[in-house]
Amino acid sequence: MGSESALFHLFGAIAIIASLLVIAQKNPIYSVLLLIASFGALSGLYVLLDAPFVAVIQIIVYAGAIMVLFLFVVMLLNAPHEDTEHDLEVHPLLRGGPLRAGALLAAALFVELTWALTKGGGESGGFPGAAVTSVAAIGRSLFTDYAFAFEVTSILILVAMVGAVVLARREPGTK
Amino acid sequence: MPVLNQYLILSAILFSIGTAGVFLRRNLITILLSIEIMLNAVNLTFVAFGRALGSADGQIIVFFVMTVAAAEAAVGLAIVIGLFRHRESLNPDSFTALKW
Amino acid sequence: MTALLIAQIVLTLFVFFMLLNSAAVMVYVERKVAAQLQQRIGPSLVGWKGVLQPLADIIKLMFKENLRPAAADPLLFALAPIIAATCAFAAFAVVPFGGETTLFGWLPEGIRLQVADVNVAILVVFAVASMGVYGIVLAGWSSNSKYSLLGGLRSSAQMISYELSYGLALASVLLLANSLSLTDIVNRQGGSWWHVLPLWYVFLQPVGFLVYMTAGIAETNRAPFDFPEAEQELVAGYHTEYSSMTFAMFFMAEYINMVTVSAVATDLFLGGWHGPFLPASLGWIWFLIKVSAILFFYVWMRWTLPRYRYDQLMAFGWKVLLPVAVINLLVTAAGVLYFGI
């Protein structure tokens, strides 16, 4: 249908423009907010791909939790920009030297990825077959086929929690 | 009706933007944000392929990727806080000397 | 086909309009109930028994000057109340408030009184609630003042801490109902046991209901969990620097969040629009009655209980409410497995 294609292009454009602005902003808070906008667009794309569960989980986990964490850290550190004198005159993305090579490498990566991913012949119209949209089916598969990975993930989150607390703790006696 | 290739090209673009962000920016937080962009591009690829193959595996792997991304963001930001406390700077170039 | 489309558009606008009205009504109800609890009269001068008081308040707020501190970030300062108000309204888009109705026979077939019937409706409510944190934290940051920043960070830390218990209480209801769609959950609560006790989930999940209400009160920053915006401690916290319509938007967002939490609680635990004597197409009357009861409970709580101190509040959320919610989930899971409900 035309409306699906129009929505795909709209969400895709928002995601790309927001991501470009994320890496172009000097102020880290604007970067975080633009990334949230990008996540919203990706969530719309997941809905178009008949994955409503993943779409909502994206908002809850990524946009609602991880980005809040980033925002807290940026605010608590009162995160400065890349504060060298050079940065104040020239925009971070426009500096010369080895950084231009980095941009070329990213462009080369894009070309390679596109070539590799589209070799599989996915131009045939639409998505064939039925989608698995029900949360019940995902849950069933998660707790039977992927049960081990699920349990290991819970240990991973525990380790990350303890690690974050320990790493960010002030040593007693210092400032 | 968007075809699979369009989703894959979009995810390739997002992944390259994330990579460019890691290369080009000299601010630790922006580097971490670019890593999140890359992870999201990968998520989009997984869901697109899962839809094309008609299985739930794509969405389940995305579930795990999101969990790992959350854990990594938490620990990464804790490290950034520790580094900032020491050098008062978020520029990775200030941490090139190996002495603490 | 077009009759249904027009009906859907009218329904959306109607919900939006009624949410705005509910904020105004809540202003009046809060002041009147507070007055009765404190043995005074409350608003009584503007209109019959003070009914026009919210209108007077809104007009006063509109005429105030819209200030912005010079050092505040203009984009974020303007964006924060917009995010807060938008998320407050958006959460109500998936809440059903009535059964199938043909609007007194005007429509060819019935429409459900719900703006969007999503099959992951509970998660959408949760997602929009977690986006509401941004309005507060950005308001605190962009005001560029110490009280606002402290209030904003504390308030958002409180909200994300209580989101865990909120989600676990939701998960317990999911186990009983086997579905994420709010309409399905309400439909399962029709009927009654032995024609006496209605099949509401509050009787199967009393602890879950208490956990949900406590987490809901903390999520909406209402007393006794309203330390971050307490006038005595933090000079109004994250909305210190806001005036006139932007302050009204925060105010309104808080009341509409209250209404949303009450509406979702009604749908999940109190049987939604099911009730005796009325057919399903008039069920929205019962829905209104139940939501009003919960909102009265909210106001009653505010003017009766003393405020929690911030560290007591966070300790309660993490050390008491979260374990209770987890144990409730485990017991519910065991019960569903054993009794096969």
- The tokens 């938008």 sit on which residue? C86
CB contact under 8 A, A52 and C119: yes
**CATH no. of B4-95:** 1.10.287.3510
The partner residue sitting opposite B8, judged by closest CB among A79, A102, A117, is: A117
Quick one: pLDDT band at residue A175, thresholds 50, 70, 90? very low
Chain C residues in contact with A64 (beta carbon < 8 A): 127, 130-131, 133
User: Does some domain include residue A175?
Assistant: yes
CA of A41, closest CA in chain B: separation in Å? 11
Nearest by CB to residue C160, choosing from A68, A133, A134, is: A68
DSSP C236: T
A17 and A95 fall within a common domain: yes
A51 and A107 belong to one structural domain: yes
Q: What is the pLDDT of residues A65-100, one digit of tens each?
A: 999 999 999 988 876 555 554 555 556 556 666 667
Measured CB to CB, residues of chain A less than 8 Å from chain C are: 29, 33, 36, 52-53, 56-57, 59-60, 63-65, 68, 71-72, 75-76, 133-136
Average pLDDT estimate for C197-207 = 85
For chain C, the structural domain boundaries read 70-339
Kindly provide the ipTM of the predicted complex, given to two decimals: 0.91
Q: Of A111, A143, A159, which residue constitutes the final position of a domain?
A: A111
B23-69 pLDDT tens trace: 888 889 999 999 999 999 999 999 998 988 888 889 999 999 999 99
A 10 A CB-CB count for B57 gives: 16
Domain check: are A165 and A99 in the same one?
no
Q: Is the pLDDT of residue A64 over 50?
A: yes
A45 Cα to chain C: minimum distance (Å): 16
Q: Is the pLDDT of residue C103 over 70?
A: no
Specify whether A5 is located in the same domain as A63: yes
Is A157 found in the same domain as A107?
A: no
Between helices B57-87 and A135-144, what is the axis angle to 10°?
Answer: 80
Interface of B with A in 43-82 (CB under 8 A): 43-45, 47-48, 50-60, 62-64, 66-75, 77-82
What residues of chain B lie within 8 A of the CB of A57, using their CB? 63, 66
pLDDT of residue A85: 47
Residue A120 lies in a domain: no
Same-domain status, A94 and A139: no
Most C CBs within 10 Å, among A75, A76, A154, A157, to test the C interface: A75
Confidence of residue A118 (pLDDT cuts 50, 70, 90): confident
Select from B51, B89, B100 the residue whose CB has the most chain A CBs within 10 Å, as the one to mutate to test that interface. B51
Could you tell me the CATH number of the domain that includes residue A91? 1.20.120.1200
**What are the boundaries of each domain within chain B?**
4-95
The answer to whether the beta carbons of residues A41 and A11 sit under 8 Å apart is: yes
Q: What is the phi-psi region of residue C271: left when phi exceeds 0, alpha when psi lies from -120 to 50, beta otherwise?
A: left
A118 domain residue, yes or no? no
Of the ranges C89-98, C145-154, C279-288, the best mean pLDDT one: C89-98
In a domain, A174, yes or no: yes
The predicted structure's pLDDT at residue B74: 94
**Average pLDDT over all residues of chain B:** 89
Query: Which percentage of chain C shows pLDDT scores above 70?
Result: 92
Q: Is the pLDDT of residue A125 over 80?
A: no
* Domain limits for position A140: 134-175
Q: Higher confidence at residue C181 or residue A131?
A: C181
b/e burial code for range B14-32 (CB count within 10 A of at least 16 → b):
bbbbbbbbbbbbbbbbbbb
